[in-house]
Amino acid sequence: MDQRGGDRASFGFREVGDAEKEGLVREVFDSVAPNYDLMNDLMSAGVHRVWKSLLIDRLNPQPGETLLDVAGGTGDIAAAFLARADTRPRRSEKEPARAIVSDINAEMLAAGRRRKTPAEISARMALLCADAERLPLPDGCVDAYTIAFGIRNVTHIDKALAEARRVLRTGGRFFCLEFSHLETEGLQKLYDLYSFNVIPWLGEKVAKDRESYQYLVESIRRFPTQENFASLIRKAGLARVKYENLSAGIVSIHSGWKI
Ligand code: SAM
């Protein structure tokens, strides 16, 4: 609890009040939005595209499905989901797939609108400015829920997971792609050296914002281990929870089912 009686949350390595965290996270993404896609390519040498493509493989999108991509930022996961679903054979009675890109930050959604997404894909993407902890959507309305590099920014992870379960239909699938913890201590040390030195430096040079990128690397370090995060997903009531490390645990894909 903070001095005003509110709860505390971590903002990178700092402890702040809940309400303060929301504001600080908003400032980070307001600031990084214009260079967001470029910085992702630079920081990961393009590998984030491979991780996201593997996420789409695991989702196995099909015509007729609706995806909700929460903390969807510039909408690349939703666009890839729809493009992949369009490659699948479609029975005449099935509608094409649809997606909702939801993000708390209007600047990130606006940056997504400026992306060159093919018209036949963007026509099936609805944008929703909303907090992952309070989704203005009915129960059981989507077939799949994704959250990529988003959940560690959310103030109450348990509330976001409860919302994920609520909006999924029975038989729906949950996927979370997130930075995680390396499989060996040696690799973790190497990765820390890179992330704590190179990423804030890149942020300063390219986006003229060292602080936001310092927050990003600290928030990665503070995120629960793969096992602990899997326990939180189970606690939210999702079933058959598992995870898969990519790039030796730099990121992992957690998944579960609503049954
Ligand atoms: N999913 C995109 C991707 O993979 O590139 C964007 C990830 S970006 C690192 C994190 C996103 O989480 C930002 O767009 C930010 O606005 C959003 N975000 C932060 N807190 C949120 C919340 N409580 N609810 C919804 N979105 C949130």
Provide the pLDDT for residue 4. 45
pLDDT value, residue 1: 46
CB within 6 Å of ligand 1 — which residues? Answer: 25, 29, 70-73, 76-77, 103-105, 108, 131-133, 148-150, 153-154
Give the pLDDT confidence score for residue 6 in this predicted structure. Answer: 64
CA of 235 to the centre of ligand 1 (A): 23
Check if the beta carbon of residue 51 is closer than 8 Å to that of residue 251. Answer: yes
Residue ID of nearest Cα to ligand 1 atom 10: 150
Between the CA of 251 and the centroid of ligand 1 the distance, in Å, is 16
| Distance (Å, whole) CA 125 – CA 90 | 19
CA-angle at 220, arms to 173 and 231, nearest 5°: 45
What is the reported pTM? 0.94
Coil, helix or strand at residue 136: coil
Three-state secondary-structure class, residue 70: strand
Positions in the chain whose pLDDT score sits under 70: 1-6
What lies within 8 Å, CB to CB, of 248 at 6+ separation is 182, 183, 184, 187
Helices (H) then strands (E): counts for the chain: 10, 9
pLDDT of 58: 98
Query: Considering only CA atoms, which residue is closest to atom 14 of ligand 1?
Result: 73
CA of 156 to the centre of ligand 1 (A): 14
Q: What is the structure's pLDDT at 47?
A: 95
